[in-house]
């Protein structure tokens, strides 16, 4: 089975532009989460989606938005890019979201975003 896939692999944008990153979860996984990883730091939680609904949001400005499609793939959008948005953006999928137990997350290779 294919793992989590993300596109594009690398992206270069200038300040003020908008960017859309894409993620396809592992087949059968219904939950997708997005993380931002700045060089030398741990991943920071941005969003979690399950069954096309937002289930969690981290401490990121409204310039960051996301959505999940009926096939469970997801997009992360970032508007009005700042230099500080340069990072590796990671997508993770998990089999299900349940309040009764926790689930393992499987990460994709990430999209490296550079803002000039």
Partner 1 sequence: QQQVKQSPQSLIVQKGGIPIINCAYENTAFDYFPWYQQFPGKGPALLIAIRPDVSEKKEGRFTISFNKSAKQFSLHIMDSQPGDSATYFCAASMDGGFKTIFGAGTRLFVKA
Using CB under 8 A as the criterion, which residues of the chain lie in contact with partner 1 when the complex forms? 4, 31, 33, 35, 40-45, 48, 55-56, 58, 90, 92, 94, 96-110
Three-state secondary structure string covering the chain? CCCCEEECCEEEECCCCCEEEEEECCCCCCEEEEEEECCCCCCEEEEEEECCEEEEECCCCCCEEEEECCCCCEEEEECCCCHHHCEEEEEEEECCCCCCCCCCCEECCCEEEEEC
Cβ-based nearer residue to partner 1, 13 or 95 = 95
Cβ-based nearer residue to partner 1, 85 or 110 = 110
**Least separation, in Å, of the C-beta of 25 and partner 1?**
13
**Least separation, in Å, of the C-beta of 97 and partner 1?**
5
Cβ-based nearer residue to partner 1, 35 or 72 = 35
């Amino acid at each position: 089975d294919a793992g989590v896939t993300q596109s594009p692999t690398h992206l270069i944008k200038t300040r003020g532009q908008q960017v859309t990153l894409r993620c396809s979860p592992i087949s059968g996984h219904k939950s997708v989460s997005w993380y931002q990883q700045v060089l030398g730091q741990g991943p920071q939680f941005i969003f979690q989606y399950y069954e096309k609904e937002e289930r969690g949001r981290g401490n990121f400005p409204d310039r960051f938005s996301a959505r999940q499609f009926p096939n469970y793939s997801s997009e992360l959008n970032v508007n009005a890019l700042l230099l500080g948005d340069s990072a590796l953006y990671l997508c993770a999928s998990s089999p299900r979201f349940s309040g009764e137990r926790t689930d393992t997350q499987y990460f994709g290779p990430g999209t490296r975003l550079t803002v000039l």
